[in-house]
Structure 1
Amino acid sequence: MPKTRRNSILLFYLILLLALFSSRAQVKSFPKNISLVSYIRQLEKDFDVKFSYVDEDLQPLLVDTPEAGSLEAILDNIRNQTQLIIKKLSNRYYTLSKSTTVDICAYVLDNYSENSAPGASVEVLGSSISTVTDANGRFTLDNIPRKASIRIKHLGFKPKYVTAEDLVSKNPCSKLLFNLNYQQLDEVVVFKFLTTGLTKQTDGSITVNTEDFGILPGLLEPDVLQTVQALPGIKSIDETVSDINIRGGTNDQNLILWDDIKMYQSGHFFGLISAFNPYLTEHVTIIKDGTSAEYGDGVSGIISMQSKNKIEGNFFGGAGFNMISADVHGQVPISEKLAFQFSARRSITDLVNTPTYNQFVKRAFQDTDVEDVSGQSSDTNINQDETFYFYDFTAKVLYDINEQHKARFSFININNNLDYTETAVNLARTDQSNLNQTNLSFGGTLESIWTDRFSTKLNAYYSNYNLDSENRINNGQQILDQRNEVIETSVKLNTNYQLNTNLNWLNGYQFSEVGISNFTDVTQPPFESNIKGVIRTNSIYSEISYASPNKKLVARGGGRLNYIVNVQYFDEFIVEPRLNLSYSLYPNLQLEVKGEFKNQTTNQIIDLEQNFLGIEKRRWMLSNNKNDTIPGNPNLPVVKSKQGSLGLNYDKGRWFVGLEGYYKEVDGISTVTQGFQNQNQFNGEIGKYDVKGLEFLINYKNSYFSTWFSYAYNLNNYTFEDIVPNVFPNNLDIRHTITFAGTYTYKNLKLGVGINYRTGKPFTEPIDGLDSVDFTTFPVSIIYKEPNSSRLPDYVRADASAIYNFNISNGVKATAGVSILNIFNKENILNTYYKLNDRDEIVTIENVSLGFTPNLSFRVSF
């Protein structure tokens, strides 16, 4: 080959190489995953073009820069990565804009080892579009609105929410990491018993799910405070929901919470009806002992009610009536993140007289059935005129700030109003009572999930109770004006840290301030008292919960440190250890060990049993630990309790058998808080009571039928050093309590029938003979036998109820029910006490139980 030709070929290849190098050098090399805005600005320089776009649309976008190529190839690559709409207006001008829909693609993986999560459900919220991940955890969806919210759910993981724009298809697809869903350790269920909706937890607490609630004898609705009395160890010896006795304690020793707000009033019609609407109450927790360290107060027990806490997509509600009241409730969704709940109930008793109302009136206003010790009636012609009504109202705002933060705001108002006139015609005597009783409370909570393992709950509330009453006795010769007000504010912070799948660490702080005022004005004999006080309590608490991997051992232990300050009288530190342990000895046999120390600083005193005709005689007062004696302001120490229990539960198939023994000691009680009706009624001695008890329950159930037998033994004694004898039976010493009941469900029909038996409560009789009245004292007084040395007759009552469910239309369900309390109209004496009449003669007053009491109800839900 000639040399000139070879040189020409070499020159050609050299020119071609330079041309290729020059072409590749036109695009500057960029790292991957850079800002799209920065990249297109460089493209404008490299290719001498101009791009028109909205900064806000492109600013958050990142792209992987392609290899060098033509401008059209680079723009196609950007279009595939971002799904932007790119239009060529001329050889030099282009526009970039967002499309309204996008195609999305992602791999769903766990956040622990990034294993794929096949079978996860993927939903486009607000539409019918959905899919599931394949065997590799991958999914794709086309033409999804760019701003649409995507929810991904999988068993064992927390739901994940992203926007479609976050998952714009890439090559490879996006990665989504699922957070593991840790469960609280105390939610391990042991057994569902008695009726549907009643569940015993591993920690020994009982929960009531009102939506799943079946039926109990005598009940037409899942009345919270009536339902708890079906459990062994919980009764009301005077048949009221406002005087519930848990293991021999008084009602004021129970902590009653509604949406984490402490309640000072719990009943309507002076305790015969619960004040809490059960149809927005989602679940109830009953704790007799082994309490978590986060709870203060309530030396006898805790009843905690929680209203519905989830935002539903559609409106739901209901309404109904029975022979005492009518009510309505509902939840209104305002948006996906905001909803409003409400409930309202009002009595119809001031409009219509029903057989149920008449029995309630007879039960409430019976203290005028006065007989002398010879059994002869002293008031033979009595006219009664009462105007009575009650109402309650609740409201709740639910706001999901996002998936990790949820805010709730709750409000409740309870009101009782009474105007009562009673005239003894043959004596030309008239007594009048006017009473207004209210409880107004509101509060809020903020629940936050900060990480997979750390969460907090902040709660604050304000609670205000008012009792305002006037009693005019014997044609106004004596006027008693009494007012009682309680104001409590509280702030509480809980922190939960999941150390691992088996260990949870709870820490928290609570501050509460309680102010109570008591005003009393009596015209004859003249007396006036106005007592006010404030107690502030700072508490810190900590506890560890553990559950073994096989759930054979579940344990919770911790403590609470309280610093209590009565601004007038004292300050005190109190340490309260808590323990709750459950261990499975065998697959169907569980051992429970529980113990706790607790205290409380609020008490209810009872001045006179006949105050306000025996209708409402209790007033709230603060502990004061004082030594002086001021009329109307008795010495009330801080009440302290310690309790321990040991139990066995057998659960196999259709059978449940539970046996639990316990010991409880409550120190710092006063005779003025116990309702004494004898020589110790006004002395104000300080003492204690101790209870040794045994609770037994056997329950058999199948798909249609449930029957149970329960027995409770209760040896409850007072100890007062300044009373003779020092030790004697507690006013609530009910030695033996037996319940035998059953329920039957067939399709839409539910039936319940049961019988309750218990031994009579102790009371004190006057001594026998003519020396039973002491005329040497002023005023003249009754001479009694030893305290609580007599007992009332045994109590027996049989109840039944029936409920039928049916559909009115596709979206409207209805329930009709009938119940009968005291089927056999057994006259049970609930209490007996004595007083002197105008002639200084002893008269006997007997409180008698409800007689044959029917009730009907009808409800609709939608």
Structure 2
Amino acid sequence: MVFVQKLCPRHRRRTLMWLGVLCIALALNGSGNTLSAQASDVTGIVRDSLNNETLPNAAVMLVGERFRTLTDEFGRFTLVNVPTGEHILRVEYLGYLPLELEITGGSAIPLSILMKPDAFELEGVTVETSTDIIQPTGEISVIKLSPRKLATLPSLGETDIFRTLQLLPGVSGTNDASSGLFIRGGTPDENLVLLDGMTVYHVDHFFGVFSAFNADAIKDVRLFKGGFPAQYGGRTSSVVDMIGKSGDNENFNMSAGVNLLSARAVTEVPLGGKGSWLVSARRSYTDVIRTGLYNSIFNTLEGEEEEEPQPTRPGGRGGGRGFGNFQQQTIQPDFFFYDLNSKLSYSPTDSDVVALSVYAGEDKLDESSLGNEITTPNGQTRLTPDRVDVSDWGNRGASGRWSRAWGSRFTSDVLVAYSEYFSEAALDVESTRFARGFREDNEVTDFTVRLDNTWRPFQASDIGVGFQFTDTEVAYSFQRLQGDSVRGGLDLGGTGALTSGYAQHRWLPSDRFDVTVGVRASSYDRTENLYWEPRTSLHFRITDQVRLKGAWGRYYQFVKRIENEDVLEGSRDFWVLAGERLDPLFAEHRIVGASWEDDDYLFDVEAYEKDLTGVSQFSTRSRRRPGQALRDLFFSGTGEARGIEFLAQKKRGRLTGWIGYTLADIDYELEGFNDGNPFPASHDQQHEFKTVASYQAGPWTLSGIWVYGSGRPYTIPEAQYPIELLDGRMLSYIHVGEKNGQRLPAYHRLDVAATRRFESDRFFYELNLSLFNAYGRNNIWYRQFDLDELPMIVTDVKTLGFTPSIGLRVGLR
């Protein structure tokens, strides 16, 4: 079956128009239920009883009926064809007490539902009755996260959304130096990360110790690990959909927090009961005050000398010399970051909501070091080279949204969003023999206009249809330095326009079946092709506790991040547009699973397989002749990801938590690279085991996390050759072993925490005491190789060791 077509502009427009016709056809397929004269629609809005915050994605249902619906981003819901008479309405939302109330079918008055957090008063202090943080939803591979519960987990002073997502099966959680999500064989750039509809391209703050999102400003998070529906496009791995807090529309609120790394504050200003304005800001102060935690992270990249020098494999071709024993060297970084969130929401009428969101964040990192004198294993001393290594990166974005309920069954959302990512990096290693370095700049901007329509013609039928236009501009420049000379450069840039349309239909033919079918079509101007992306998912409920599930889908990605391989200093990545040289990234998802769940426990298993094409790598070491253009050093090919995930969760009681295990494999095969042989991807990790537990001990919440992961692969250099060219210039050639042929030691760590809330008449105080890496495991992030002298110097770049932390949050009650 062909899913890519070469079409002229007229045919592309016609194809996208037919998606609207498909929407109507899908609606007719769901016409198993007809409108009854004795039935009417029930509408309403769900809010937090304490701060009037609307609650998105809350489950709303009639007790005894098989159908349910979810609230939209603004807390609104509709139950269609509700028979006249008395009914019990039930509302459920993660982190809140389930609510049941009597309603009368046939009433035209919208409901206003206020939900209470699942907490109680103990000795005058509010204590959570449940510490449940995650909730697998009824959709396949979808997990919901409660940001308001994250403060109870161990942390480095900052409650972190992405670090919590890394504790789920199928999501790698063994990289302390990146909060990016490696999900089911995918890399962070293959995840569609949305904040109030705007795309965020880079999610790391502060060395990747925590993510770029302030949990105080986020109210709802959903993770689609795979098989996501047709309304999402442009990425091939997963979706993280975050909705920012709107704020209290009736009362002024503010809170502030401080820890050993940073300070943050949130302010909520009501707008006459019609809306609110929320501003959240966070900044590290490590460039002003250096605390004990700062010094611990300052030494994150500290290398420790090996007790016994370890030989590498002997090698070398054409008279090249191999490297025997190696030594260790220390690097000390300096850094700071900030981020800002602002959201204004306003409801001019009962049917309309207008929202404006702004986000900005930036990091500055300096890993420079002066040369120092070391002693080699043979007793000689020498001076290591000076290093200048600086980076600056960040995101900026804004989105405007208008949502209108045209009636109880039809809603439209219009979104206009702008997003910008920037990154600047420079490395200069001074050396008498192998001076090296680079200059690198990368910028991505995109402008998006999106229209989403939802229609519920019948109780068992949900229709979605939408259109999206995204204009993306990417600029990338790279210069390879050797001493004071530029030995090669790469300038990539361009713009790409992506026009997409989708239609999807969720249909519940009986109380046991739940079927979603959809298709997305995308026209990309740089290839002049039309890309079809059909998708489907199915749930079958065998009993009230047992479910079977499956999903299949095809996905394309047109802006992607390429690994710039560097076996000496650690690889970097950069964004590029697909086009003439690089094909779009493609993935086909196949997922099956089963689950058993009651009120107290959940057991879930999912197996997945993904076929990949358009996988790309950039490698300067693969240059085969002097003067070879860097543009010729891109390699493309295929990949395959496979795995199985297990989740066991205890949801209620004083002791709650989950255990997750993942068995996975991800291999790439690139034409002309690694002698054409398949190799494990750099993020391949066969085994991961995670345990998360939380215990309510009176007013204290005690929690712990243990993570284990088998070693990740890396490439080791075997020899370096200085080659004199005919014009007298020297060319340095590095011979390496098999791509990712070695593995780092296994990773594991234990984190523990104790959290308590204190309250007075006007204020609340939340205290968190944490121990990160409680037993001080020396986990290795990656290895650096210094080939300047014999024996070769290898630096084990370590992650954080034993690190205590304390955090305090204060706010108005």
TM-score w.r.t. the length of structure 1 is 0.72
**1:186-207 Cα distance to aligned partner (Å, 9 max, x none):** xxxxxx9995232111113111
**Residue equivalent to 1:669:** 615
The answer to whether 1:467 aligns with 2:423 is yes
Q: Partners of 1:156 and 1:332 in 2: how far apart?
A: 35
**Equivalent residue of 2:132, what SS?**
coil
For residue 534 of structure 2, the aligned residue among 538, 561, 577 is 577
* C-alpha RMSD over aligned residues: 3.6
Matched, 1:702 2:632: no
2:514 to 544, 548, 554: 554
SS where residue 294 of structure 2 aligns?
helix
- 321, 341, 365: which one pairs with 1:394? 341
2: distance between equivalents of 1:676 and 1:365?
Answer: 27
* 1:814 Cα offset (Å): 0.8
1:279-678 residue pairs with structure 2 within 5 A?
279-309=216-246, 311-364=248-301, 374-377=324-327, 387-426=334-373, 427=383, 429-474=385-430, 480-521=438-479, 522=481, 523-548=484-509, 550=511, 552-566=512-526, 570-607=527-564, 609=566, 617-626=572-581, 636-672=582-618
Tell whether the 8 Å contact from 2:567 to 2:717 is kept in structure 1 after alignment. no
Alpha carbons of 1:362 and 1:572: their partners in 2 closer, same or farther (altered >3 Å)?
farther
Residue 273 of structure 1: aligned partner: 210
SS in 2 for 1:279: helix
Whole-angstrom CA distance in 1 between matches of 2:419 and 2:198: 7
Q: 2-side partners of 1:294 and 1:116: how far apart?
A: 25
Partner of 2:31: none
Instruction: Show CA shifts across 1:325-375 (max 9, x none).
Output: 000012110211131110001101112222222222222576999998554
Look at both structures and tell me which one has the larger radius of gyration over its CA atoms.
1
* Change over 3 Å in CA distance of 1:292–1:366 after alignment to 2: farther
Contact in 2 for aligned 1:203/1:290 (Cα 8 Å): no
Distance 1:483 1:112 in 2: 65
Shift of 1:844: 2.6
Q: Provide the C-alpha distance between the structure 2 equivalents of 1:743 and 1:254, rounded to a whole number of angstroms.
A: 29
1:442 to 1:277, Cα distance in 2 relative to 1, 3 A = same
CA 155–424 in structure 1, closer or farther in 2 if over 3 Å, else same: farther
C-alpha distance in structure 2 between counterparts of 1:416 and 1:451, whole Å: 45
Matched, 1:729 2:683: no
| 2:621–2:734 CA contact under 8 A, matched in 1 | no
Which residue among 770, 783, 796 is the counterpart of 1:832? 783
CA contact (8 A) 2:247 2:278 kept: no
Cα 1:480–1:709 shift into 2, 3 Å: closer
Letter of the 2:602 counterpart: F
The separation in 2 between residues aligned to 1:483 and 1:353, in whole angstroms, is 30
- How much does 1:213 deviate? 4.6
Which residue of the other structure, out of 727, 741, 754, is the alignment partner of 1:802? 754
- Counterpart check, 1:720 vs 2:678: no
Which secondary structure state, in structure 1, belongs to the residue aligned with residue 386 of structure 2? strand
SS of the aligned residue for 2:588 comes to strand
TM-score norm. by structure 2 comes to 0.76
CA contact (8 A) 1:763 1:833 kept: no
Pick closer, same or farther for the CA change 1:574–1:364 going to 2, 3 Å. Answer: farther
Distance in 1 separating the partners of 2:421 and 2:372: 37
Query: Percent sequence identity over matched residues?
Result: 23
1:393-433 CA-partner distances (Å, limit 9, x unpaired): 11111111111010000001101124554101332743224
What is the SS of the residue equivalent to 1:779?
Answer: strand
- Is the contact made by 2:367 and 2:389 (CA closer than 8 Å) also made in structure 1? yes
1:203 aligns with 2:139: yes
Structure 2 SS opposite 1:226:
helix
Q: Deviations over 1:631-652 (max 9, x none)?
A: xxxxx22000011111111012
Query: 1:441-494 CA deviation, whole Å, 9 max, x = no partner?
Result: 001111110012111111110011122344443299767433211110000000
Q: 1:784 maps to what in 2?
A: 736
Residues 360/679 of structure 1: CA separation in 2 closer, same or farther (3 Å cut) = farther
Asked whether the 8 Å contact 1:679–1:784 carries over to 2, the reply is no
Please tell me the residue identity of whatever aligns with 1:178: A
Q: Shift in Å at residue 111 of structure 1?
A: 11
**Equivalent residues of 1:646, 1:662 under 8 A apart:** yes
Q: Does 1:765 align with 2:716?
A: yes
**Range with bigger deviation, 301-310 or 406-415:** 301-310
Contact 1:493 1:510 in 2 (8 A): yes
Q: What aligned pairs does 1:128-167 form with structure 2 within 5 A after superposition?
A: none
Preserved CA contact (<8 Å) 1:383 1:425: no
CA, structure 1 residues 792+420, in 2 after alignment: closer, same or farther (shift >3 Å)? closer
Change beyond 3 A, Cα 1:562–1:701: closer
* SS class of match (2:531): strand
User: Which amino acid in the other structure matches residue 794 of structure 1?
Assistant: A
Quick one: which amino acid aligns to residue 605 of structure 1? I
Write the deviation string for residues 783-841 of structure 1: whole angstroms up to 9, x where unpaired: 3333333222221211111111111x22311111111111111112233354522x476
**Structure 2 unmatched runs, 5+:** 1-34, 46-78, 80-85, 91-105, 114-127, 313-323, 374-382, 625-629, 725-729
Tell me, in whole angstroms, the C-alpha distance in 2 between the residues paired with 1:694 and 1:428: 46
The amino acid across from 2:684 in the alignment is D
- Give the match's secondary structure for 1:695: strand
| Partner SS state of residue 352, structure 1 | coil
- Which one scores higher on RCO, CA 8 angstroms, separation ≥ 6? 2
Tell me, in whole angstroms, the C-alpha distance in 2 between the residues paired with 1:241 and 1:155.
49
Q: Does the aligned pair in 2 maintain the 1:411–1:443 contact within 8 Å? A: yes
Q: Letter of the 1:695 partner, please give it.
A: E
In the alignment, is the contact (CA less than 8 A) between 2:184 and 2:642 conserved in 1? no
Is residue 193–residue 199 contact of structure 1 (8 Å, CA) maintained in 2?
no
1:255-266 to 2 correspondences below 5 Å: 255-266=192-203
Is contact 1:371-1:845 (8 Å) kept?
A: no
Q: Does the Cα contact within 8 Å between 1:462 and 1:490 map onto a contact in 2?
A: yes
1:539 alignment partner AA: S
Report deviation, 1:576: 0.4
Contact 1:156 1:180 in 2 (8 A): no
Worse-superposed segment, 230-239 or 199-208: 230-239
Which amino acid in structure 2 is aligned with residue 533 of structure 1?
G
User: Structure 2 matches for 1:64-79, cutoff 5 A?
Assistant: none
SS in structure 1 opposite 2:152? coil
Q: How far is the alpha carbon of 1:743 from its aligned partner?
A: 1.3
| Cα distance in structure 1, aligned partners of 2:368 and 2:650 | 50
| Shift, 1:500, TM fit | 0.7
What is the total number of aligned residue pairs between the two structures? 669
Which residues of 2 match residues 217-236 of structure 1 at below 5 A?
217-218=154-155, 222-236=159-173
Letter in 1 for 2:419: S
Where do 5+ consecutive residues of structure 1 fail to align?
A: 1-109, 121-152, 159-175, 184-191, 627-635
1:93-131 C-alpha deviation (Å, 9 max, x unpaired): xxxxxxxxxxxxxxxxx99649999xx9xxxxxxxxxxx
Q: Deviations over 1:18-75 (max 9, x none)?
A: xxxxxxxxxxxxxxxxxxxxxxxxxxxxxxxxxxxxxxxxxxxxxxxxxxxxxxxxxx
Cα gap change, 1:786 to 1:617, in 2 (>3 Å)? closer
Contact 1:311 1:337 (8 Å CA) reproduced = no
C-alpha distance in 1, partners of 2:606/2:713?
A: 25
